[in-house]
Amino acid sequence: MEMATCSFHSSSFTLPNPNTNNPRITTLCSKQLFGFTLPSSSTAKTTTLKLHSRNSNRFSAHPPIKCSVSEATEAAAIETERRSKLMRRADIRNIAIVAHVDHGKTTLVDAMLRQSKVFRDNQFVQERIMDSNDLERERGITILSKNTSITYKDSKINIIDTPGHSDFGGEVERILNMVEGILLVVDSVEGPMPQTRFVLKKALEFGHAVVVVVNKIDRPSARPDFVINSTFELFIELNATDEQCDFQAIYASGIKGKAGLSADKLADDLGPLFEAIMRCIPGPAIDKDGALQMLVTNIEYDEHKGRIAIGRLHAGVLKKGMDVKVCTSEDACRVARVSELFVYEKFSRVPAESVEAGDICAVCGINDIQIGETIACKIAGTPLPAIRVEEPTVKMAFAINTSPFVGREGKYVTSRNLRDRLSRELERNLAMKVEDGETADTFIVSGRGTLHITILIENMRREGYEFMVGPPKVINKRVNDKLLEPYEIATVEVPEEHMGPVVELLGKRRGQMFDMQGVGSEGTTFLKYKIPTRGLLGLRNAILTASRGTAILNTIFDSYGPWAGDMSTRDQGSLVAFEGGTSTSYAISSSQERGQLFIGPGVEVYKGQIVGIHQRPGDLSLNVCKKKAATNIRSNKEQTVILDTPLDYSLDDCIEYIQEDELVEVTPASIRMCKNPKFSKKSNR
């Protein structure tokens, strides 16, 4: 294909030739893209346009950023507002920061908060201040979205930090209801990743303005031209409008707190980023004099204030002490009173007497409020469209603990405790579903992925719950008598020397490669696969083993497709204790010849507990509590016993490991695996 090159904010773009027969590309290239009209001469094979800022050498002064997307959308918005009698607030911007996991969203928010003087000069501020949850800090990922705000040139910018992992996509989908634009943060080496595609697709569906931030631009192997090109191609693939494709690009180093319009010349602060937000992202469209409307998009809980509903005010004015109507539909409404009202200023909630349309606020006093409901005017209020999120793809069985050690470590052990806790989770977590299982003490929990459900399990065990969890299973569909299963896009970043075993492993799990390319100068290969969700169960540990801990795996749901056939996800069996007691060095020294053990000496075990991984297929029962027989024969010296270091499996590892006839016992102090007694009874029959 003949190619034409068009520069974009001092970065090079590669676009298909407008003379081709592709109507989509022809439309884009024939219009004034990036402020230039591309030539349509059939004789020219390549055309290079360079864009230089007159103030390119004076970034410290933060030159005004001309954003054509804001101008184009503003013209359309004016016409829309004229018809609907809406107005835009110029003093507020509502934005969400979205990106793939570990692309630097939370670090960038930290820098924005510091430079906006949110904290005192002598105030100690820990890293990743927005990740306030203990679990978020331990895992280094954002799990729950957080609200904050900064002030820039007498305007308020409401910022929402969102999760980057695909399993928490439901959280991102809800948040997009509250904002008018997004900062799409992309790593300067990796470029757009699976979650980047997902959040961008949702943002474009909402019609939001997008500012692309190429983060970590100070990395040695940064390739900003490639990243911008890849991002533009992603916009085209997702059928973005011409105005959306003409996005503003900002180059930044979140950890250094610097940004600029060029990858080579960064300002001393994030001024260019703030300017881009103000110019490229429109203010909220509101009906100031209309009837009150506020869609609840998030819920928080406070011990003193109770349930706190968070959302953006679409119309009218909300006042403290006001009587309102809470609606899910026109027919289902109830009356409530707002006891307290808060807005977000800097890094905290600040009490407010009233909130005008366009701002994000928190409402107290409605104890039965749910996500997706509308707080409306008591007399003339009408509900807004309810929030919809994509369906879950993975399910797991939760049941009461039936092991001999039940009740030793946990505070909540009954099925009623389990049911109440799962019901509370449903109120906040819209992407999760809970159904009754085969028995009265079993519940089927469905989520967007294993991590989505594992985070719930980890939170529950920290709260004092004790229960059993079955292996993850995919949720299949039957359409026109055809069995369909979920497929995901898996991206693997692996060094070239380990690529062979990784490719073989993905092939065994019915994965189909559709892209392979080298990344940076480190000899790393980037693989893209379409693979059944079944094939991903237990894959993370297998890939780490095959690549000696060097591979990085990322996945995101793609679509439902035909059943891929049977597959084996585990080649080795388990070592199972057939007698309870305390493990001994004598028994472990002989048992470790059979495989790798999960326990060391002096550990209490029970009959049926999984104590290790068998080195061959099929399970093997053994006794890890056997003691050395005492004799009256004296020996000169006791035989020295050398024991291997036991495997330390986390909760995620255990859930990946277990199969159909196995369970994970979760308590506040321990995580154990055992054989499911129901399956042993069936096999005995």
Task: Give residue 300's pLDDT.
Answer: 80
Do both 207 and 336 map to the same domain?
A: no
CA 191 – CA 232 distance, rounded (Å): 11
Do both 96 and 239 map to the same domain?
A: yes
Do both 114 and 253 map to the same domain?
A: yes
Residues 6+ apart with CB under 8 A from 559: 486, 487
Range of the domain at 603: 574-629+640-658
The answer on pLDDT for 303 being more than 70 is: yes
Do both 132 and 278 map to the same domain?
A: yes
Last residue of one domain, picked from the residues 343, 377, 411: 377
CA-nearest of 650, 660, 670 to 472 is 660
Q: Which amino acid does the sequence have at 346?
A: K
Four-CA torsion 200, 204, 207, 210, nearest 10 degrees: 40
Count of structural domains within the chain:
4
Task: Out of 200-214, 289-303, 497-511, pick the least confident.
Answer: 289-303
CA 370 – CA 310 distance, rounded (Å): 10
pLDDT band at 388 (very low <50, low <70, confident <90, very high): confident
Task: Give residue 76's pLDDT.
Answer: 52
CA 260 – CA 213 distance, rounded (Å): 10
Residues 6+ apart with CB under 8 A from 500: none
Do both 351 and 221 map to the same domain?
A: no
Do both 270 and 124 map to the same domain?
A: yes
More confidently predicted of 155 and 520? 155
CA 371 – CA 350 distance, rounded (Å): 22
Do both 553 and 625 map to the same domain?
A: no
The answer on pLDDT for 237 being more than 80 is: yes
Asked if residue 644 is part of any domain, the answer here is yes
pLDDT band at 118 (very low <50, low <70, confident <90, very high): low
The answer on pLDDT for 418 being more than 90 is: yes
Classified as helix, coil or strand, 306 is strand
pLDDT band at 8 (very low <50, low <70, confident <90, very high): very low
Do both 647 and 591 map to the same domain?
A: yes
178-189 burial: b if 16+ Cβ within 10 Å, else e: bbbbbbbbbbbb
Residue pair 544/507 in contact (Cβ under 8 Å)? The answer is: no
Q: What is the mean pLDDT of residues 124-133?
A: 47
The alpha carbon dihedral of 603, 606, 610, 613 has a sign of positive
The answer on pLDDT for 344 being more than 60 is: yes
Last residue of one domain, picked from the residues 250, 285, 320: 285
CA-nearest of 421, 433, 424 to 390 is 433
Asked if residue 320 is part of any domain, the answer here is yes
Beta-sheet pairing, 317-319 with 354-356: antiparallel
Residue pair 600/588 in contact (Cβ under 8 Å)? The answer is: yes
Do both 541 and 602 map to the same domain?
A: no
User: In this predicted model, what pLDDT tens digit does every residue of 273-291 receive, in sequence order?
Assistant: 888 888 888 888 877 778 8
The answer on pLDDT for 75 being more than 90 is: no
Q: What is the mean pLDDT of residues 612-630?
A: 86
CA-nearest of 38, 33, 162 to 106 is 162
Asked if residue 488 is part of any domain, the answer here is yes
Do both 310 and 351 map to the same domain?
A: yes
Query: Which CATH number goes with the domain that contains 347?
Result: 2.40.30.10
Task: Give residue 173's pLDDT.
Answer: 75
CA 279 – CA 458 distance, rounded (Å): 42
Do both 544 and 529 map to the same domain?
A: yes
Residue pair 15/3 in contact (Cβ under 8 Å)? The answer is: yes
Asked if residue 459 is part of any domain, the answer here is no
CA 102 – CA 533 distance, rounded (Å): 22
Continuous segment of H or E residues that includes residue 73:
helix 68-84
Task: Out of 208-212, 517-521, 596-600, pick the least confident.
Answer: 517-521
Task: Give residue 141's pLDDT.
Answer: 61
The answer on pLDDT for 203 being more than 90 is: no
Q: What is the mean pLDDT of residues 677-684?
A: 60
> Cα-atom radius of gyration of the chain, to the nearest Å?
28
Beta-sheet pairing, 662-666 with 595-597: unpaired
Asked if residue 219 is part of any domain, the answer here is yes
Do both 224 and 359 map to the same domain?
A: no
Residues 6+ apart with CB under 8 A from 515: 526, 527, 528
Asked if residue 515 is part of any domain, the answer here is yes
pLDDT band at 577 (very low <50, low <70, confident <90, very high): very high
Asked if residue 674 is part of any domain, the answer here is no
Cα separations (Å) of 460 from 270, 304, 663?
40, 22, 17
- In this prediction, what percent of the chain has a pLDDT beyond 70? 78
The answer on pLDDT for 13 being more than 80 is: no
User: In this predicted model, what pLDDT tens digit does every residue of 133-155 receive, in sequence order?
Assistant: 555 555 556 556 677 888 888 88
Q: What is the mean pLDDT of residues 194-219?
A: 84
Residues 6+ apart with CB under 8 A from 78: none
Query: Any idea how long the chain is?
Result: 685
Asked if residue 296 is part of any domain, the answer here is yes
Residue pair 488/557 in contact (Cβ under 8 Å)? The answer is: yes
CA-nearest of 437, 433, 447 to 397 is 437
Query: Which CATH number goes with the domain that contains 216?
Result: 3.40.50.300
Token digits for 252?
């930044």
Average pLDDT along the chain: 78
Burial of 625 (0-12, 13-18, 19+ CB in 10 A): buried
Residue pair 542/473 in contact (Cβ under 8 Å)? The answer is: no
Last residue of one domain, picked from the residues 337, 360, 377: 377
Give alpha helix (H) positions in 363-512. 415-428, 450-462, 499-508
